[in-house]
A and B are shown apart, each in its own frame.
Chain A
Amino acid sequence: MGIKWDEFFITGDPLILGSQIAILLTMIGAVAAITYLKKWKYLWTEWLTTVDHKKIGIMYIISAVLMFFRGGMDGLLMKAQTARPEMEFLNSQHYNEIFTTHGVIMILFMAMPFLIGLMNVVIPLQIGARDVAFPQLNALSFWLFFSGAMLFNISFVIGGSPDAGWTSYFPLAGKEFSPGIGNNFYAVALQIAGIGTLMTGINFIVTILKMRTKGMTLMKMPMFTWTTFVTSILIVAAFPIFTVALALMTFDRLYGTHFFTVSGGGMDMLWANLFWLWGHPEVYIVALPAFGIFSEVIATFSRKSLFGYKSMVFSILGIALLSMVVWVHHFYTMGSGPAVNSFFSITTMAIAIPTGVKMFNWLFTMRKGRIKITSAMLWALAFVPCFVIGGVTGVMLAMGAADYQYHNTLFLVAHFHYVLIPGVVFAVFAGLYYWWPKMFGFMLNEKIGKWHFWLFVIGFNVTFMPMFFLGLNGAVRRAYTYSAESGFAPLFMLSAIGSIILAAGFAVFCYNIYWSIRYADRNISSDPWDARTLEWSTASPVQFYNFAKLPEVKSLDPFWHMKKKNEGLTLFDSEIEEIHMPSNSWLPIYMGVIFGIAGFLLVFEWHIAAAVAAIGIFAGLIIRSFDYNEGFHVKKDEIHRIENAWRKTEGEVHDHVS
């Protein structure tokens, strides 16, 4: 097999040596701590084998926060390198690797899992269900995502990172120009994580179509459920394209085919085409659920129903449909001619219309509302102007002819950070502050939360606003340095200072989690925000079966009306029935591990070993096929005990619509 052991670990760079040591020590530390605290069994039964959507959601969120840290570090390193002209902190190769891993990690391993985590926690509760449609498949989705993410992350200490950009365009990403194994990590790790995401999409479509509680028609669903539903449809539509493109890439790199390799009659542009056929919908896959989160937060803290519910639903559907037919705006400069470029300019600009409709809906929801400025609401408020800047520059970029000027400059980089950070990061922060008490039974500290908010928002604007002007002045993206004569230095410096403020904001966020875990008041109501949707009608943290009695829905904002009319809030003993729940399973984590091993071997092109490991995958599939575990029943006594514990507590107010 010709294994080059001397190239196995990356050596010779003090930064990387430092990380290798840090990773090793962290792993030893974690294993030692778990063993010392005797938590292995707890970890295994309560978390690693769980099929409970809430716990899976929390695991997604924890992974996403860690990945945010990793991707943010990459961002800071890049900002440090470009802070001054001709810096010699990172060399060009290292810079290439870092913007590549930054882009991939932020989008696929931070934004996606963060949102999918919140979807997991919230959606079954919002529709009054006891779990998702396929709980074990849900666990498998998580473990495949986690396996792919870990495989991708080890690339920088073992084997070498991919360095052809998060878009990995051919011919650069092909074997000819990237002969190392770095880009194999891209092809294989994203494939594994992508399978998990595809299954999540299927799972949530079925869950939302089939498991809504009595009375919840489609047009009575909360907006976050709607956006999750449409996002899931987009996932199922778009991810297979990426799956195929990655498979062809793998064949080209590992087995000498020529789908995208120009030398053998392949077509490099086909990669760009397929990548963005997935890549653009992907942007909306992360943006739509975020819009849903803002809708919930804004309605709750304006104490009003969402303005223009129907137009909101139709604009989501419109955005989803349009998002499938705009992909060429990412490569106008490839030169597909005036007809193609004009068509895609028009479709792209058209997306601004439904997005604008949503903006006005949010503004009108706040109009005459009694707005409560909580941390969650602050994120939603800041989202509106920041996202508008991203949107307006997007319309500028949408013009095919003008794009020849902006293409590949920092103007574009500023634009998409202005879309992704307000559109996704602000949203997941809002969602986290909002749903945190539901997940854990205590709140995040509001005062620290406001520090987090102001530092992050100011830091974000100071970091990325200068990049618009740098780009207009001609600073190109993905360039590791620039000359003093270019005159870029002051703005680059400003941007670097901004990124430090941004990082301080993130640090305060981490401190807030720590502080709140240690000191926050545990004695809070299960409905601390006086909210409107069903997830707030049950205990915090939510009991494993979600609802003792499935709620019945008569209108939008069902919980609000239940509180107002004092209906369906109490539980009579006679209403308690046994509840059927799915059992834990070791198979999902086993599949994650075995996929990770097989993927790792494939990355290193050890084909025989990879084939042997793949037998383990088939073994898992076969075991699952003969798995007749029917789950278990929760006895009435137990339900009784659990319900009494939270319903009878002091301060549990159920009817305080104010």
Chain B
Amino acid sequence: MEHHQSKSFPISHVIGFVVSLVLTFGAAGIALKTNLSFKVIMWIIGSLAVIQAGMQLFMFMHLREGEDGKTNLVNMIYAVFMVIVIVVGSIWVLTSGHAAH
């Protein structure tokens, strides 16, 4: 780890941190302070969440610096699988059958 940009100022981390804060407070503001319909709010804050997750992958998670692409590919496939299981799975389970009512 010492080999990559160890002494230089971690500028991408700081930017990532600030942008994360902006996106988070933006989502909170939209949810709490606007009169948009429930559906619109859900779509907006959901999109902000996806944007933030993607941004953090680049700014914090060294996505661009991995030594070999194969490892990164396996990691990404695994992460996508987990996201689908957790998010899509939860929505499916909680919106079908009696659970929906």
* A328 to B90 CA separation, bound complex (whole angstroms): 10
What residues of chain B lie closer than 8 Å to A324, measured between beta carbons? 82, 85
What class of interface size applies to chain A in its complex with B?
10 to 19
B93 proximity list for chain A (CB < 8 A): 273, 328, 336, 340
Is the CB of A195 closer than 8 A to any CB of chain B?
no
For A338, the chain B residues whose CB sits under 8 A away are 97
Set B89, B90, B96: member contacting A337, Cβ < 8 A: B96
A269, B94: Cβ atoms closer than 8 Å: yes
Residues of A within 8 A of B92 (CB): 340
The residue among B86, B90, B97 with the most chain A CB atoms within 10 A of its own CB is: B86
Q: Quick one: closest B residue to A338, CB to CB?
A: B97
- Chain B contact residue count (CB 8 A cutoff): 12
Say whether A334 contacts B82, CB under 8 Å: no
A241 to B87, CA, bound (A): 11
Q: Does A30 contact B (CB under 8 A)?
A: no
Interface string of B19-55 (1 = CB under 8 A from A): 0000000000000000000000000000000000000
C-alpha spacing A2/B41, complex, angstroms: 38
- The answer to whether B99 and A335 have CB atoms under 8 Å apart is yes
Do residues B86 and A336 form an inter-chain contact, with CB atoms below 8 A? no
A274 within 8 A of B: yes
Q: Does B98 contact A (CB under 8 A)?
A: yes
Please, which residue of chain A has its CB at the minimum distance from the CB of B90? A273
Chain B residues in 8 Å Cβ range of A336: 93-94, 96-99
8 Å CB contacts to B: which residues of A331-346?
A: 334-341
Q: Which residues of A contact B98 (CB under 8 A)?
A: 334-337
Interface flags for A247-274 (1: CB within 8 Å of B; 0: not) read 0000000000000000000010110011
CB <8 Å contact, B99 and A270: no
Q: Is the CB of A270 within 8 A of B89?
A: no
Q: Report whether A273 and B85 are in contact in the complex, using a CB–CB cutoff of 8 Å.
A: no
CB contact under 8 A between A335 and B82, given known A274-B90, A325-B89, A340-B92: no
Map CB proximity to A onto B64-101 as digits: 1 under 8 Å, 0 otherwise. Answer: 00000000000000000010011001101110111100
Tell me, yes or no, whether A285 is within 8 Å of chain B by CB.
Answer: no
Are the CB atoms of B85 and A339 closer together than 8 Å? no
What's the Cα separation between A270 and B86 when bound, in Å? 12
Answer whether residue A237 sits at the interface, using C-beta atoms and an 8 A cutoff. yes
| Neighbouring B residues of A164 by C-beta, 8 Å | none
Known: A324-B82, A324-B85, A325-B85. A267 touches B94 (CB 8 A): yes
In angstroms, how far is the closest chain A Cβ from the Cβ of B8? 16
Residues of B within 8 A of A237 (CB): 82
Q: Which residues of A contact B90 (CB under 8 A)?
A: 270, 273-274, 277
| Complex alpha-carbon distance, A616 and B89, angstroms | 39
Complex formed: what's the CA distance from A277 to B94 in Å?
13
Query: Contacts A274-B90, A328-B93, A340-B92: A269 and B99 contacting too (C-beta < 8 A)?
Result: yes
Among candidates A241, A267, A340, residue contacting B97 with C-beta atoms closer than 8 Å: A340
Return chain B residues, CB-CB under 8 Å to A334: 98-99
**Bound Cα distance from A328 to B85, whole angstroms:** 12
> A277 — which chain B residues lie within 8 A by C-beta?
86, 89-90
Choose one: A241, A273, A341; the contact of B94 (CB below 8 Å): A273
Contact indicator per residue, chain A 267-290, by CB within 8 Å of chain B (1) or not (0):
101100110010000000000000
Tell me the smallest distance from the CB of A305 to a CB of chain B, in Å: 28
Give min CB distance, B27 to chain A, whole Å: 15
Report chain B residues within 8 Å CB of A339: 96-97
Considering only CB atoms, which chain A residue lies closest to B95 in the complex? A336
A340 contacts across to B, CB distance below 8 A: 92-93, 96-97
Residues in B whose Cβ lies below 8 Å from that of A328: 93
**Residues of chain A with a CB closer than 8 A to B89's CB:** 277, 325
Distance in angstroms between the alpha carbons of A160 and B18 in the assembled complex: 41
Q: Write the chain B residue with the least CB distance to A337.
A: B97
| Most B CB within 10 A of own CB, among A269, A274, A334, A336 | A336
Closest to B91 in A: A273
Residue of B nearest to A241 (CB): B86
- C-alpha spacing A237/B97, complex, angstroms: 28
B17–chain A nearest beta-carbon distance, Å? 15
Write the nearest CB–CB distance from B46 to chain A, whole angstroms: 16
Contact partners of A273 in chain B: CB under 8 A = 90, 93-94
Of A237, A270, A325, A341, chain B has the most CB atoms within 10 Å of the CB of A237
Residue numbers in B under 8 Å from A337 (CB-CB)? 96-99
Write out the residue numbers on chain A whose beta carbons fall within 8 Å of the beta carbon of B97.
335-341
Q: Which residues of A contact B94 (CB under 8 A)?
A: 267, 269-270, 273, 336
What's the Cα separation between A541 and B84 when bound, in Å? Answer: 47
- Per-residue CB contact flags for chain A residues 304-345 toward chain B (1 = under 8 Å, else 0) read 000000000000000000001100100000111111110000
Q: How far is the CB of B74 from chain A (nearest CB, A)?
A: 11
A8 vs B56: C-alpha distance in the bound complex, in angstroms?
43
- Could you tell me the distance in whole angstroms from the C-beta of B91 to the nearest C-beta in chain A? 10
Chain B residues closer than 8 Å to A335, beta-carbon distance: 97-99
Identify which of A241, A270, A335 gathers the most chain B CB atoms within 10 Å of its CB: A335
Of all chain B residues, the one with the shortest Cβ separation from A244 is B86
Question: In the complex, what's the smallest C-beta–C-beta distance from B31 to chain A, in angstroms?
Answer: 12
Collect the chain A residues with CB atoms within 8 Å of residue B96's CB: 336-337, 339-340
A299 CB to closest chain B CB (Å) equals: 29
A269 to B90, CA, bound (A): 10
* In the complex, residue of chain B having the shortest beta-carbon distance to the beta carbon of A237: B82
User: B30 to nearest A CB, angstroms?
Assistant: 17
Q: Which residue of B lies closest to A277 (CB)?
A: B86
State the Cβ distance, A239 to closest chain B Cβ, in Å: 12
CA–CA, A344 and B86, complex, Å: 14
How long is the Cα–Cα vector from A339 to B99 in the complex, in angstroms? 12
Give B101's nearest chain A residue, CB to CB.
A335
Residues of B within 8 A of A269 (CB): 94, 99
Most buried by B among A324, A328, A339, A340: A340
Task: Tell me the bound Cα distance from A334 to B97 in angstroms.
Answer: 9
A214-B92 Cα distance, complex, nearest whole Å: 47
Residues of A within 8 A of B99 (CB): 269, 334-337
Residues in B lying within 8 Å of A, measured CB to CB: 82, 85-86, 89-90, 92-94, 96-99
Q: List 30 A-B contacts (CB under 8 A).
A: A237-B82, A267-B94, A269-B94, A270-B90, A270-B94, A274-B90, A277-B86, A277-B89, A277-B90, A324-B82, A324-B85, A325-B85, A325-B89, A328-B93, A334-B98, A334-B99, A335-B97, A335-B99, A336-B93, A336-B96, A336-B97, A336-B98, A337-B96, A337-B97, A337-B98, A337-B99, A339-B96, A339-B97, A340-B96, A340-B97
Name the 3 nearest CB pairs between A and B, nearest first.
A337-B97, A335-B98, A336-B97
Given contacts A277-B89, A328-B93, 5 further A-B contacts (CB under 8 A): A270-B90, A273-B94, A337-B96, A337-B99, A339-B96
